[in-house]
Structure 1
Amino acid sequence: MATSRLLVVVFLAMAVSVAEMAVAAPAAAPSSSSSSPFRTVYAFGDSFTDTGNTHSTTGPYSFGYVSSPPYGATFFHRSTNRYSDGRLVVDFLAQRLALPSFLPPYLAAAGNSSTDNVGVNFAVAGSTAIEHDFFAKNNLSMDITPQSIMTQLAWFDAHLRRTSKDKSKDKVADALFWVGEIGANDYAYTVMAPPSIRPKLIRTMAVQRVTTFIEGLLDRGAKYMIVQGLPLTGCLPLAMSLARAEDRDNISCVASVNGQSYAHNRLLLANLRRLRQKHPAAVIAYADYYAAHLAVMRNPARYGFTEPFRTCCGSGGGAYNFDLFATCGSPEVTTACAQPDKYVNWDGVHMTEAMYKVVASMFFQDSGDAYCRPAFSAVLAARKAQQGK
């Protein structure tokens, strides 16, 4: 299959429509006894960050089984509508900050003001950076989640109006904002677009929308923010199983797809530098998902993985154990591998809890800024210094 068609399949598989109501997030067991300067976290993004704003009934046929076992089997022992066997990076963030619970999904928290004790997760699986109208106007709206990153900003505004009232400015200034992966779906939905809609145009538009979103948070008073880049989208089992054999990079992943993510991240970084100059009072960190993912793929054994490409919850055997017509949670695939902690990939598109834990440890390590710049510890220190004034 040509790489262009591959991209459509890869990321349409990641896309799900938003559910009317989501499963409430389970309580978290804090992993750190040290006091945290942040008591509230607001998260945004797509399926790599979504903690339950979508579920099976509105998902696509290939990955529309997130409400079914064995999703959630490793940690929660039931599905929480997370696209993994357990916790996501944002869940490990909640534990690192010793929050009393994981972040509840917005659609479950909408009627419960008490959930704002820890914050809210607005991420939507399949969400795009560019507004849905663009895709609809260009006849590219098939199976596309209508919620964009700007929809999530509107949800955030509605949440503040409902819960914070006169204290919203202080609430925003004191919180940590986690801007998870966003933009991969935009490229997928436009791969089969007419020649006038080129990948460079999508990159420019997608990064501009993310930049506008971030500035919107800053204008609302956000002071502490971590923005996550795109991972190695060309290393997903689905991509690997469908790509042309010659389209490979030096880690045996799909070169063209990884190149697209790399270019996106470079433009995003350039825009973050400009935002830092424009908003010097804010701390804007970049979580380098691409570099973290690359480190694992270059030396998986170092991080405890023996299966960097095979799908833990999949079917078909072979090098990738992936069959688009028999995916995780479907009637054909009701069980997963015996040791998911040895696998990087969970269902062919999303990661295992073990992989998310490794990535989180890279982002939140106590020293160094190899994967989070400035370092996560510097973000915490900046907040503590502000509290001390």
Structure 2
Amino acid sequence: MTFILIIFLLLAARVARSDSSTCNIPAIYNFGDSNSDTGGIAAAFYPPGPPCGETFFKRPVGRGSDGRLIIDFIAEKLGLLYLSAYLDSIKANYTHGANFATGGATIRRVNESWFLNGVSPFSLDIQVEHFNQFKDRTTYLYNQAKDESQRINLPRPDDFEKALYTIDIGQNDLAYVFRTLGVEGSRVVIPDIISQFGASVQQLYWKGARSFWIHNTGPIGCLPVTHAKIHDPPSGYLDDIGCVKGQNVIAMEFNKKLRVKVANLRSNLPEAMFIYVDMYSAKYQLISNAKNLGFEERFTICCGYHDLDEDVYCGNKGKINGTEVFAGSCKDPTKVISWDGVHYTDAANHWIATQIANGSFSDPPVSITETCPKHMSVL
């Protein structure tokens, strides 16, 4: 009977560990760029119009996709509502976290603007400052409230330490240095980018963050908008699947140094849990095996026109070969990896999120449902 009881308890624990409430994560606080922006840059500047959002939300909702982003699927996995953008005050609900990411954001501040090259003014250090203000002000309002009716849409102060802090940023830093220094020249600034990333994470830690889920940067050389600009490339310029080899090499160097930085943070901040997620490998696996996974040709762009000399961006009108066109969406976005040449479709984001959520691409290999502070027991 004792043996049977032990087996029952072990099975029950295993079931509990696979459940989305394993860690009882009450909130997510997200930082990043357009890969995880749920409406921040749209609220600050101009929102994306149709056909963005058409597949899942059935209308534009501030995301650079036809539907959900990876952060949306992470919220679903944890049983939480989709994150409201910090910069969007209309009907925002912050009881389950907040999203500080903005499209075009970088880790380092760069000397460009949203109007010049689409670079967000809300770099990672500014996003962290927004979080600092958010935590201080909401905690004050929560504690000053006389009853629960005055706490509607406010986060519980105790939840900040229990929350999951997700970070997905760095792609725009590489794009910026490619543009200004060239691919080879970009190597010299990677250490500074990584250093500033570490400083921002430490700021979050000092503000009470204890569980970090950190994405590395994807294969930027595989972006279809980049591939569309290539004409008669020299030998060795592209890799075996057609991605720009040099750009991906730099992305991998960035990721290698990021992994070392995360390991250092893990050693220096022992009260926190740090999970490093290899998004590069997950995305490259999807792109490499596009057709086997039910997608069309890997460099197909669903929304927008891009070639060597001309661009008409998703949802806009423009001229291609002298003919005015509207850059609408493709017939079936669920069969395409790239939404607009840079961002992924709902279907592609769902595939990637499914792969990373169980810890298969993580160091250490921990499921997202088990990414809780070390002092909190995992069922």
TM-score (norm 2): 0.80
CA distance in 2: counterparts of 1:163 and 1:116, whole angstroms: 9
Q: Calculate percent identity across the aligned residue pairs.
A: 30
TM-aligned CA deviation for residue 183 of structure 1: 1.9
TM-aligned CA deviation for residue 370 of structure 1: 3.0
- What amino acid sits opposite 1:173 in the alignment? E
Aligned residue number for residue 124 of structure 2: 149
Flag structure 2 segments of 5+ consecutive residues without an equivalent: 1-17, 144-154, 318-324
Aligned residues: 336
CA distance in 2: counterparts of 1:260 and 1:236, whole angstroms: 14
- Determine if contact 1:236/1:349 at 8 Å carries over to the other structure: yes
Aligned residue number for residue 340 of structure 1: 333
- Determine if contact 1:44/1:123 at 8 Å carries over to the other structure: yes
CA distance in 2: counterparts of 1:142 and 1:327, whole angstroms: 14
Q: What secondary structure, in the 3-state scheme, does the structure 1 residue paired with 2:131 have? A: helix
Aligned residue number for residue 175 of structure 1: 163
Q: Give the CA RMSD over aligned residues.
A: 3.0
Compare 206-215 and 332-341 and name the one that shifted more.
332-341
- Determine if contact 2:218/2:279 at 8 Å carries over to the other structure: yes
- Determine if contact 2:83/2:98 at 8 Å carries over to the other structure: yes
Aligned residue number for residue 38 of structure 1: 25
Matched, 1:98 2:79: yes
Flag structure 1 segments of 5+ consecutive residues without an equivalent: 1-31, 60-65
Cα distance change on mapping 1:169 and 1:188 into 2, 3 Å: same
Matches within 5 A, 1:189-204: 189-193=176-180, 198-204=185-191
Matched, 1:328 2:303: no
Cα distance change on mapping 1:268 and 1:194 into 2, 3 Å: closer
Aligned residue number for residue 7 of structure 2: none
Q: What secondary structure, in the 3-state scheme, does the structure 2 residue paired with 1:357 have? A: helix
Aligned residue number for residue 261 of structure 1: 251
CA distance in 2: counterparts of 1:81 and 1:308, whole angstroms: 25
Aligned residue number for residue 106 of structure 2: 128
CA distance in 2: counterparts of 1:382 and 1:48, whole angstroms: 23
Matched, 1:158 2:133: yes
Cα distance change on mapping 1:175 and 1:253 into 2, 3 Å: same
TM-score (norm 1): 0.78
Matched, 1:355 2:348: yes
Matches within 5 A, 1:209-358: 209-243=196-230, 245-246=233-234, 247-315=237-305, 324-331=310-317, 332-358=325-351
CA distance in 2: counterparts of 1:39 and 1:232, whole angstroms: 32
TM-aligned CA deviation for residue 378 of structure 1: 6.8
- Determine if contact 1:129/1:206 at 8 Å carries over to the other structure: yes
Q: Which has the larger radius of gyration?
A: 2
Match of 1:69 among 50, 54, 77: 50
Cα distance change on mapping 1:381 and 1:285 into 2, 3 Å: closer
Q: Encode CA deviations 1:82-108: one digit per residue, 9 max, x unaligned.
A: 000000000001100111x20001111
TM-aligned CA deviation for residue 115 of structure 1: 2.0
TM-aligned CA deviation for residue 188 of structure 1: 2.7
Q: What secondary structure, in the 3-state scheme, does the structure 2 residue paired with 1:43 have? A: strand
Q: What secondary structure, in the 3-state scheme, does the structure 1 residue paired with 2:195 have? A: helix
